[in-house]
Amino acid sequence: MARKKTTKKKSTRNKSDHSERNMRLFLGGSLFLGAIGVFAGASWGVSELDRKAANFVVEGNPQVEIRWPTTAQGEIWMPMNERDRVQELITRSVQGGNALSRAPLEEAGLALMRSNWIEGTPTVQWTSEGVIQVDAQWRVPAAVVRVGNREFIIDWNRIVLPLDYGIGESNQYFFENADAQLPRTGEVWMGTDLQDGLKLLEILGNHQLLEQVEGFDLGTQEQSGTIVIRTNRNASILWGAGPGRERPGELTSSEKLGRLQALYEDTGLIDGGFVMVDISGAEIFVERATD
C-alpha cells in the first residue's frame, strides 16, 4: 500500500479532498436523478432528433456510452476491470431490443442500478448518433472494512461497494473489528461503531490530521466502540468513544483534537513519537518504545 510521507507541514485537506484522494487511488484506467417512473417520461421518449438517429443504429444491438466517475482533474478513478464488468452488464441488457424505443433505455438504467455503484436512478438517453448514453450519481469510496484476510470497500453512507482486496492492498483507510457482520454488496454495513469511525475519519480530514493515519480499530467485546487510531509508525492513539458519544470522564472531541494538534506541532507526529498515547481522559498517558 502506498503511504504518505511524514512531514510537519500541514496539508489543506477537507472531506472533499479526502474523497479526491480515494478516487485517485482507484485510478485504473451529472445529471438529474428521478424515480423509476422517469423511464416513461418525456426525457426518456423518442424525439424527432432521436428518430433521425435511426439511420445510425444497428437494430437490436445499440452502442452504449457510459460517463464514468472522475476526479476533479478529469481522470476516471474506477478500476478498469470494474468498468469492464459494468460495461458488459449494460451492453448485454440492451441487446435484442428495438432501436430507439424506451425499452433499451429502461434495461440499461436497471442494469446500472444493479451494479451497486450508483445512487438513485441514472439518466439514460439516445444521442443523435443512435448511441445509448448513460450518466449517474456514482458512489464514492470512503474506506475499507477488514474482515478475515480481505478489505471491503464502503462509501460514506456505509454501503458496501462491489470491490474487495487483500489486506493492505486497497490503499484506503481501514476499519477493523466492526461489530456487525459483512452485509451483501449494495447494502448498508450496520453498527454505530462503524458510523462513529467514519465520522472520526471525516473530522480528522477536516482538521488536516490524516497525513499519518493508517486506519482505526473499533474495539472488541467490552472495548467495542472504543476507537483506537493506528498510525503509519505502527503506533496507537486511544481516542475513546465516537464523536458525540463521549463517556463519563472523557474529553470532548474538540479537546481530543486539540491534543492531537499539539502533539503534531511539538513533534511533527500525531502520536508524539510514542508507541501508545491515550488522549481520551483528563490526563495523557503514554507508552514509550523499549530498547
The answer to whether the beta carbons of residues 177 and 218 sit under 8 Å apart is yes
Q: Tell me: pLDDT of 56 over 70.
A: no
Which pLDDT belongs to residue 1?
Answer: 34
Task: Please give the Cα distance from 109 to 252 (Å, whole number).
Answer: 46
Q: Tell me: pLDDT of 4 over 60.
A: no
Residues 99, 225 within the same domain: no
Strands 141-147, 150-155: pairing is antiparallel
Mean pLDDT value across residues 33-41: 31
Which pLDDT belongs to residue 206?
Answer: 95
Mean pLDDT value across residues 23-51: 39
Examine the fold and report which residue of 138, 155, 179 is the final residue of a domain before the chain moves on: 138
Is the residue at 3 inside a domain? Answer: no
Which pLDDT belongs to residue 5?
Answer: 40
The answer to whether the beta carbons of residues 112 and 90 sit under 8 Å apart is yes
Examine the fold and report which residue of 93, 113, 138 is the final residue of a domain before the chain moves on: 138
Is the residue at 10 inside a domain? Answer: no
Residues 145, 283 within the same domain: yes
Which pLDDT belongs to residue 24?
Answer: 52
Q: How confident is the model at residue 12 (pLDDT cuts 50, 70, 90)?
A: very low
Which pLDDT belongs to residue 103?
Answer: 82
Which pLDDT belongs to residue 49?
Answer: 46
Which pLDDT belongs to residue 60?
Answer: 58
Residues 133, 144 within the same domain: no
Is the residue at 150 inside a domain? Answer: yes
Is the residue at 110 inside a domain? Answer: yes
Which pLDDT belongs to residue 23?
Answer: 58
Whole-angstrom CA distances from 36 to 60, 94, 106, 134, 185 are 23, 17, 9, 15, 21
Residues 151, 281 within the same domain: yes
Strands 160-166, 132-138: pairing is unpaired
Residues 173, 237 within the same domain: yes
Tell the residue number behind the cell numbers 444491438, with chain if given: 61
Mean pLDDT value across residues 64-78: 93
Residues 165, 126 within the same domain: no
Domain span holding position 100: 31-138
Phi, psi angle pair for 217, to nearest 5°: -95, 120
Domain with residue 281: its CATH number is: 3.40.50.11690
| Surface-to-core class of residue 49, CB atoms within 10 Å of its CB (0-12 exposed, 13-18 middle, 19+ buried) | exposed
pLDDT in tens, 220-271: 888 888 999 999 999 999 999 999 999 999 999 999 999 999 999 999 999 9
Examine the fold and report which residue of 94, 119, 138 is the final residue of a domain before the chain moves on: 138
